[in-house]
Amino acid sequence: MHFLELQLHNNLLKAISELGYTEPTLIQEKVIPLVLEGKDVIGSAQTGTGKTAAFALPILQGLLESGHVVKRGKKIAAIVLSPTRELAVQIDEAFKSYAKHTNITSAVVYGGMSIEPQKDILKKGVDVLVATPGRLLDLYKQECFDPTFIETLVIDEADMMMDMGFIDDVQKIEKICPEEKQTLFFSATMPQKVVGLSNMILKSPESVDVSPRSSVAKSVEQLLYYVPKAKKMELCLHILRNTVKGNIIIFRRTKFGVEKLEKSLLKNGYQVASIHGDKSQGARDRVLSDFKAGRLRALVATDVAARGLDIPSLEQVINFELPYNAEDYVHRIGRTGRAGKAGLAISLVSAKE
């Protein structure tokens, strides 16, 4: 797709081309038309996908089309909420670069610095205001801006916003804005609490998801045992004794954990070996060929060591601890249930995890 197909104003196209953008990114291709139609949008997208332009360009386009800039004077027409000062500054810079050949202005306000210069900026008037939530509310309480003309509210990095405890502030800001507005909501991840927030503030939104897809074959059954840390070893032995027939990998987070588990299993009479980052390539290769040849019942491994290993399809994967991130989880359990065969992934999860 070319930017021309998105029907953007020539002065925006000029700025985009000067920035060296030749075609829209996926999120831009999907989100820009929806925003131009006036829809509320939920976008699952991480930084780096081009999401800033995905909301900034159609906001600028809307302002150019409606001619509101001229009619209402310099009253805020769009607010962009960002969780951190750094991100807020970046978003403001992006707006400025896209609006370079227009008369639309933007500004950024954030906490942790003197409020007076920010008041002066607002007094002069801007069209687009990028802000961190707390400072924006302070400025509102001090009557430094008039929210009457706000047409668009963007909530960026909603998941981070919630993690940083801004949920109440975001809700307050949403209420300050006029009822009739467009809301655009972006989040890198969509945990339940973020979905809850979006349900509260968006009206029949369109969803756009460009988050990286990692998925697990449907043939993998996933079991989770809630178990105190101290009881994990016992449960692991029970599983080995009672359920596993074929070969199995047990994952742990640390090299230390891997070695400890290997020792305990050996002591209990199991033929196991381990692979982790401190083992030489030769040692890892030997372990792997023993495992493939069926001379070992189980392999104990860290995520890093197991990455890229050509391990045949496994009957079971046990996560002695959950990995630190979702990608690793998907990676681990993808080693079972291959080629349509049934697989089983068991996670032993303590309260702390």
User: Interface with ligand AMP by CB under 6 A: which residues?
Assistant: 21, 24-25, 28, 47-53
The smaller minimum CB distance to ligand AMP, of residues 47 and 264, is found at 47
**How far is Cα 328 from Cα 304, in angstroms, rounded to an integer?**
9
The smaller minimum CB distance to ligand AMP, of residues 50 and 343, is found at 50
- Give the nearest distance from C-beta 20 to ligand AMP in angstroms: 7
Q: How many residues does the chain have?
A: 353
φ, ψ of residue 38 in degrees (nearest 5)? 90, 10
The smaller minimum CB distance to ligand AMP, of residues 50 and 337, is found at 50
Tokens of 219: 């043939």
**How far is Cα 239 from Cα 343, in angstroms, rounded to an integer?**
15
DSSP H helical segments within the chain, as ranges?
10-18, 26-36, 51-66, 68-72, 85-98, 116-124, 133-141, 158-163, 167-176, 192-201, 232-242, 255-267, 281-292, 303-306, 326-333
The smaller minimum CB distance to ligand AMP, of residues 50 and 62, is found at 50
The smaller minimum CB distance to ligand AMP, of residues 53 and 161, is found at 53
- Give the nearest distance from C-beta 324 to ligand AMP in angstroms: 24
- Give the nearest distance from C-beta 47 to ligand AMP in angstroms: 5
The smaller minimum CB distance to ligand AMP, of residues 49 and 316, is found at 49
- Give the nearest distance from C-beta 235 to ligand AMP in angstroms: 43
Comparing C-alpha atoms, which of 263, 79, 248, 47 is closest to residue 160?
A: 47
**How far is Cα 106 from Cα 91, in angstroms, rounded to an integer?**
10
The smaller minimum CB distance to ligand AMP, of residues 47 and 84, is found at 47
**How far is Cα 106 from Cα 2, in angstroms, rounded to an integer?**
26
- Give the nearest distance from C-beta 59 to ligand AMP in angstroms: 13
The smaller minimum CB distance to ligand AMP, of residues 58 and 343, is found at 58
Residues whose CB falls within 8 Å of the CB of residue 296, separated by 6 or more in sequence, listed in order:
247, 271, 272, 273, 287, 290
- Give the nearest distance from C-beta 22 to ligand AMP in angstroms: 7
CB 125 within 8 A of CB 73: yes
φ, ψ of residue 51 in degrees (nearest 5)? -70, -25
**How far is Cα 26 from Cα 132, in angstroms, rounded to an integer?**
27
Helix (H) or strand (E) run with residue 153 in it: strand 152-155
- Give the nearest distance from C-beta 154 to ligand AMP in angstroms: 12
- Give the nearest distance from C-beta 270 to ligand AMP in angstroms: 48
